[in-house]
């Protein structure tokens, strides 16, 4: 018994496949900007965080004390400057009446300038102290999924402590892949024209062979050809609402080429090969088996494109091929091959 399927003429869009690797749209390495004792870790490792969420807290007491001291120093500087301004005003009045000496006026002017500079310095010191106090609250710079923390509360942290944790923005996710110079010309003509042609849309096949449910968009083509490989790096952005893609995944990128065209398709299992080339076994109207040499095009899913040697509607044996030979009369069963799991 053999199983046959009719050669089908269908509109298809051919595609090229490339190996790609995923990367986050944004990534942040979270670090401490001031030194102190870590008092709180507020996030759940592996959870989603929003921009501005509190992640860590460093002991605020020393920095609050520094702010208090800076405020007192500013008040003192302002008081001294106020006194210098009043002295200068008084000496200028006396100088106009010819009572004050020029040297006394010069000293008063210098004192006013020095105390004004001291006020500016005290204001800057207070701003710095307040900035450092703000750094005791370490917050998420971007939204995304947060990783494992490298420190726990009670530890001393600082600028030299390294990365405390990382945040990856996973929606969208970037996929980087490389294409040859010939393919690059077609990508440039279609993918970036008018913001991306809908006929030239990248799609993904996941490592387990399952088609990724969301279409991507090519948004970047590098500005040079790699001299070693002769390829150019391309980036495509893919929506990732279910977080199926994580940074570092290897995926297959399938990029459709041009307008849909009609093609003659047969199951891959129907294609045979000998020393003369590829052929298929067909069952005629009299149920007699015949061999047909064929010229193949690209693979399209679970089927081959047949460019020459076969007509639409002819019954092609795809199961039980090894049990028959040309000129043998068979009683065929008509059925399409099962779809692979995951497609």
Residue 283: give its domain's CATH number.
Answer: 2.40.420.20
Angle, helices 61-96/102-134, rounded to nearest 10 degrees: 160
State pLDDT tens for residues 163-199: 999 999 999 999 999 988 777 776 666 655 545 444 5
Residues in the chain, how many? 343
Helix/strand/coil for 330: coil
pLDDT at 295 over 60: yes
Q: How many domains does the chain have?
A: 4
Residue 210 placed within a domain: yes
Check whether residue 223 and residue 290 sit in a common domain.
Answer: no
Q: Which of 115, 134, 153 is the last residue of a domain?
A: 134
35 assigned to some structural domain? no
**Residues 5-13: what's their mean pLDDT?**
87
In this structure, the answer to whether residues 221 and 173 fall within a common structural domain is yes
Cβ 303 vs Cβ 268: under 8 Å: yes
Grouping H, G, I as helix, E, B as strand and the rest as coil, residue 53 is coil
Domain that holds residue 148: 40-59+139-162
Residue 339 lies in a domain: no
- pLDDT at position 342: 44
Q: What is the C-alpha separation between 161 and 181, in angstroms, rounded? A: 45
Q: How confident is the model at residue 220 (pLDDT cuts 50, 70, 90)?
A: confident
Residue 34 lies in a domain: no
Please check whether residues 105 and 177 belong to one and the same domain. Answer: no
The one-character DSSP state at 193 is G
Looking at the structure, do residues 272 and 311 belong to the same domain, yes or no? yes
For residue 343, being part of any structural domain is answered with no
Domain for residue 340, yes or no?
no
CATH of the domain at 117: 1.10.287
**Residues 175 and 218 both lie in one domain:** yes
Task: Give the per-residue pLDDT at 341.
Answer: 46
Give exposure, 159-180, as e/b (b: 16+ Cβ within 10 Å): eeeeebbbbbbbbbbbbebbbe
Domain annotation covers residue 178: yes
200, 226, 256 - which closes a domain: 256
Other residues' Cβ atoms within 10 Å of the Cβ of residue 333:
11
Cα 281 to Cα 270: distance, rounded to the nearest angstrom: 7
pLDDT value of residue 343: 46
What are 324's two structure tokens? 């028959």
- 223 and 296 belong to one structural domain: no
Domain end among 202, 222, 256? 256
DSSP secondary-structure letter at 276?
T
For residue 212, pLDDT over 50 is answered with yes
One domain for residues 249 and 208: yes
Instruction: Write the pLDDT tens digit of every residue in 221-271.
Output: 888 888 888 888 999 999 999 999 999 999 999 887 666 788 999 999 999
Q: Of 157, 78, 57, whose CA–CA distance to 125 is shortest? A: 78
Q: Are 309 and 294 in contact (CB under 8 A)?
A: yes
Q: What's this model's pTM, rounded to 2 decimal places?
A: 0.66
| 144 and 55 inside one domain | yes
């Amino acid at each position: 018994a053999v199983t046959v399927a009719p050669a089908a003429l269908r509109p298809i869009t051919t595609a090229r496949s490339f190996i790609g690797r995923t990367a986050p749209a944004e990534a942040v390495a979270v670090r401490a900007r001031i030194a102190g004792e870590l008092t709180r870790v507020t996030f759940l490792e592996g959870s989603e965080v929003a921009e501005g969420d509190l992640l860590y807290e460093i002991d605020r007491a020393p920095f609050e004390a520094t702010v208090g001291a800076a405020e007192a120093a500013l008040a003192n500087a302002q008081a001294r400057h106020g006194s210098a301004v009043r002295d200068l005003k008084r000496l200028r009045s006396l100088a106009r009446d010819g009572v004050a000496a020029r040297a006394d006026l010069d000293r008063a002017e210098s004192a006013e300038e020095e105390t004004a500079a001291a006020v500016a310095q005290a204001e800057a010191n207070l701003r710095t102290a307040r900035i450092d106090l703000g750094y005791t609250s370490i917050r998420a710079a971007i939204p995304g999924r947060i990783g494992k923390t490298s420190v726990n509360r009670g530890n001393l942290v600082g600028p030299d402590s390294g990365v405390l944790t990382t945040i990856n923005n996973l929606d969208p996710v970037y996929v980087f892949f490389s294409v040859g110079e010939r393919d690059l010309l077609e990508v440039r003509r279609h993918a970036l024209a008018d913001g991306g042609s809908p006929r030239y849309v990248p799609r993904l096949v996941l490592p387990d062979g399952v088609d990724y449910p969301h279409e991507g968009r090519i948004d970047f083509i590098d500005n040079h050809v790699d001299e070693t490989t002769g390829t150019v790096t391309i980036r495509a952005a893919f929506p990732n609402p279910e977080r199926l893609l994580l940074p570092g995944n290897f995926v297959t990128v399938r990029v459709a080429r041009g307008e849909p065209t009609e093609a003659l398709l047969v199951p891959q299992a129907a294609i045979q090969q000998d020393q003369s080339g590829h052929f298929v076994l067909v069952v005629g109207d009299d149920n007699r088996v015949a061999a047909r040499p064929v010229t193949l095009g690209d693979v399209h899913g679970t089927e081959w494109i047949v460019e020459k040697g076969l007509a639409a509607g002819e019954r092609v044996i795809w199961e039980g091929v090894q049990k028959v030979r040309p000129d043998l009369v068979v009683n065929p069963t008509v059925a399409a091959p099962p779809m692979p799991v995951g497609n």
